[in-house]
């Protein structure tokens, strides 16, 4: 990149059922938090990630709407959509905006207001990130795709549901320390194992929830960051990769090629290896997705994520702490906002401001956000400066 970029502010609202908030008010709160954190009154441009305001809220053209709500009715603002990774896509765009020299102070955010629909409608809308002509029209939901993969994975590697349940328990443990989490409480292994089946072998506790959320970051050129904040975090690498859109066209159902390619390229750009990473926020929309992420990002061998989980490597004190926020599973997954929540968590971790869920001495962190069932993946690498 032509110019290095830093994060100088983060803002979030608690992921929740925000019945009394609108798309607009929810995002505005998160954005004002980010501005306050950076200590600045305004930005030069806004990128906002959102998957389906059209379907969820009958509202398109949301970026000028949100910019206006913030009082920034003259700045350029653009919405980016990339299914479940819309948040990371917004960050990826804002990053290039600053790196290109086009703007200096840029806000990137994400918002999804999902609770204005029924659960059935939400499940349908979420399935529109898969192929409507060849997959979704059959009634195959994302839970269905993940269930098939989980079944194959369990058979291929001899892994039991207990291992996945232990991952879920860890996510809730972490979320219990996160004031922004939708489910800030611990659950027992029994509860994780014995929740209602959704699409066997996936049970309710294997799934990320539906919720409302918004988060925002402030970016600026790295060489100007110290003007605003003492603790700045640099974005040292970023990559987005795709895979076949149709799941059944893939050669390997148990590896997300997009994750592998995005992470390898982002690591190379940041000049790191997986061993250098102190903390990671990964896309665990289902527990099986969490396992694939741990492996495809280079933290465990294929088929051995269960070891990292059972040996405690992914815990806050482990070798490679995964999802200190609680992850999509327990922090929550307000779709278009998730990638920004992940980045905000990593920034707090690298600033040493993550409170009870702080990973000791975290210097390098990554975020990993995917869309569909790995149709694309975006990985960002952050370094404390």
Calculate helix-pair angle for 119-127, 142-157, nearest 10 degrees.
70
Active site residue 207: no
CA distance 145 to 159: 18
What binding mask, one character per residue, do residues 316-355 give for its own copies by CB under 8 A, x or -? ----------------------------------------
| Binding flag, residue 58, its own copies (CB under 8 A) | yes
Q: How far is CA 239 from CA 1, 94, 336, 358, in A?
A: 12, 13, 18, 26
Read off the DSSP letter of residue 207: B
**Least distance between its own copies and beta carbon 56 (Å):** 9
Q: Please report, as residue ranges, which positions from 16 to 55 form the binding site for its own copies (by CB under 8 A).
A: 22, 24, 51-52, 54-55
Closer CB to its own copies, residue 100 or residue 194?
A: 100
Does the protein bind its own copies through residue 253 (CB under 8 A)?
no
Give the separation between CA 315 and CA 330, rounded to whole angstroms.
14
Map tokens 């919720």 to a residue: 211
Contacts of 33 (CB under 8 A, 6+ apart): 10, 11, 12, 13, 216
Judged by CB under 8 A, how many residues of this single chain contact its own copies?
A: 65
- Interaction of residue 67 with its own copies, rule CB under 8 A: yes
The verdict on 78 binding its own copies (CB under 8 A) reads yes
Among 18, 203, 283, 333, the one annotated catalytic: 333
Does residue number 372 form part of the binding site for its own copies (CB under 8 A)? yes
Q: Is residue 335 a contact partner of residue 89, using CB atoms and an 8 Å limit?
A: no
Map residues 90-129 to x or -, x wherever contact with its own copies holds by CB under 8 A.
Answer: --xx--xx-xxxx----------------------x--xx
Q: 351: Cβ–Cβ under 8 A, 6 or more apart, which residues?
A: 231, 233, 384
Tell me, yes or no, if 333 is annotated catalytic: yes
Angle, helices 161-175/287-296, rounded to nearest 10 degrees: 90
Which residues are annotated as catalytic? 84, 333
Binding footprint of its own copies on the chain (CB under 8 A)? 1-3, 22, 24, 51-52, 54-55, 57-65, 67-69, 72-84, 89, 92-93, 96-97, 99-102, 125, 128-133, 136, 239-246, 257, 261, 371-372, 375-376
């Amino acid at each position: 990149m032509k110019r290095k970029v830093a994060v100088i502010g983060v803002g979030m609202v608690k992921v929740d059922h925000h019945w009394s908030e609108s798309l607009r008010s929810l995002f505005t709160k998160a954005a004002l938090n980010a501005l306050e954190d950076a200590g600045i009154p305004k930005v030069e441009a806004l990128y906002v990630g959102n998957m389906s305001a059209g379907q969820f809220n009958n509202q398109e053209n949301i970026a000028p709407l949100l910019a206006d709500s913030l009082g920034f009715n003259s700045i350029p603002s653009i919405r980016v959509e990339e299914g479940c990774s819309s948040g990371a896509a917004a960050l990826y765009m804002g990053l290039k905006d600053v790196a290109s020299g086009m703007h200096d102070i840029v806000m990137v955010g994400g918002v999804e207001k999902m609770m204005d629909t029924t659960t059935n409608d939400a499940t349908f809308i979420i399935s529109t990130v898969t192929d409507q002509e060849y997959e979704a029209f059959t009634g195959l939901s994302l839970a269905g795709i993940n269930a098939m993969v989980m079944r194959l994975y369990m058979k291929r590697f001899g892994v039991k549901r207990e291992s996945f349940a232990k991952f879920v328990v860890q996510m809730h443990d972490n979320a219990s320390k996160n004031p922004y989490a939708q489910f800030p409480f611990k659950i027992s292994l029994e509860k994780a194992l014995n929740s209602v089946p959704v699409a066997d072998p996936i049970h309710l506790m294997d799934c990320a929830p539906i919720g409302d959320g918004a988060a925002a970051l402030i970016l600026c050129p790295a060489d100007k960051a110290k003007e605003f904040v003492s603790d700045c975090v640099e974005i040292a690498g970023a990559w987005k990769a795709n895979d076949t859109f149709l799941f059944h066209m893939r050669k390997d159902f148990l590896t997300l090629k997009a994750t592998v390619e995005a992470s390898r390229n982002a690591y190379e750009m940041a000049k790191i290896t997986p061993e250098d990473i102190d903390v990671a926020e990964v896309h665990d929309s289902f527990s099986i997705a969490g396992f694939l992420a741990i492996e495809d990002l280079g933290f465990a061998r294929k088929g051995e994520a269960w070891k990292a989980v059972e040996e405690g490597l992914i815990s806050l004190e482990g070798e490679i702490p995964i999802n200190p926020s609680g992850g999509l599973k327990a922090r929550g997954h307000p779709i278009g906002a998730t990638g920004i929540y992940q980045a905000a968590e990593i920034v707090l971790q690298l600033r040493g401001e993550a409170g009870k869920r702080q990973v000791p001495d975290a210097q390098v962190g990554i975020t990993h956000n995917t869309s569909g069932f790995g149709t694309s993946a975006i990985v960002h690498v952050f370094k404390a400066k």
